[in-house]
Amino acid sequence: MFVVALLGGLGALLHACKADRWLDDFASQGSGEGTSRPRPTATLGPSAAPGPKGSPARGGGGKPADASVHLALGVPTDDDSSDDSVMRKPQYALSYNADQNVSNWVSWQINAGWFGDAPRHKGKFMTDPELPSGFYRVTHDDYTGSGYDRGHMVRSEERTRSPEDNKVTFLMTNILPQYHDLNAGPWLRLEEHCEDLGRKQGKQLFVMAGGVLKRGKKASKTIGKGVVVPDTYFKIVVVLEPREGPADVTESTRVIAVLMPNKEGIQDEGWEKYRTTVDEIEKRTGYDFLPAVDEDVQAEIEAKKGE
């Protein structure tokens, strides 16, 4: 009996150590040069490696976290799943809308382990080979001459651990049309703030971003072969300590939420001007964000404007 108990205890300890080592191992993988097109980024299933330390919140009705580390705070959902094709990549996760030819949202983790000295991908942006059969695959040329930047959701600089990671940020499923004044203005300044928090201050960030799409309505603006141009963009940033998960989110957790207009003339503006609440973003997009967080905590943090 003693031997069985001892072996069981050792097994549990090894399992816990393995889970705690996962993020470090994940951050050190893949440093070699890739080909001109990224390798297929397999969808993570239930057997995928665990996310950050911290069990899903359950006391207040929070839903279990997803297997993907990029969806550790839950999979955003709305009342119509027919236009949500959820894709889980090692570098980020997203919900793709085949009716609008852009992603509904992109979700990803930022911490120091994602940064390195890999060069920025050179060449054209790439179609995403993992889109389901029958979906139109947006190309680099859909944006050419449109007057809009190919706006990254996951910033190229946030995936410099390896050349392969960086290339995946240039897949068109990670791109939406943005005026240059937004892309190089307040949007960029918030990206730089997130880099400072994750890379220099050692925080762990969970980020969700995308365009505010007109659900069920005909788009007023499109480019290329039916690529919708959002009038407004959103971003939600939950700031945690290393290895923290949904159960560690409290009423005092810092949350940044912004709604930024997709227009010209704002390049010199700071991101702080566009602070809002997660509640307002949910109202505008129709999505429920942070579903793995305790519902009572959600009610508190989603109603507050960040500092």
Catalytic residue numbers, as ranges: 152
User: How far is residue 20's CA from residue 214's CA, in Å, rounded to a whole number?
Assistant: 41
From the number of C-beta atoms within 10 Å of its C-beta (0-12, 13-18, 19+), residue 279 rates as: middle
Counts of helices then strands in the chain (DSSP H, E) = 6, 10
The token duo for 31 is 């440093």
Contact (CB, 8 A) for 121 and 170: yes
Which residues have a Cβ under 8 Å from the Cβ of 126 and sit 6 or more positions away?
A: 37, 38, 140, 167, 170, 171, 172
Identity of the amino acid at 225: K
Report DSSP state, residue 72.
T
The CA distance from 115 to 158, in Å, is 6
CB atoms within 10 A of CB 235: 22
Q: How far is residue 166's CA from residue 91's CA, in Å, rounded to a whole number? A: 9
The residue with tokens 């695959």 is: 137
Please state, in angstroms and rounded to a whole number, the distance separating the CA atoms of residues 119 and 301: 37
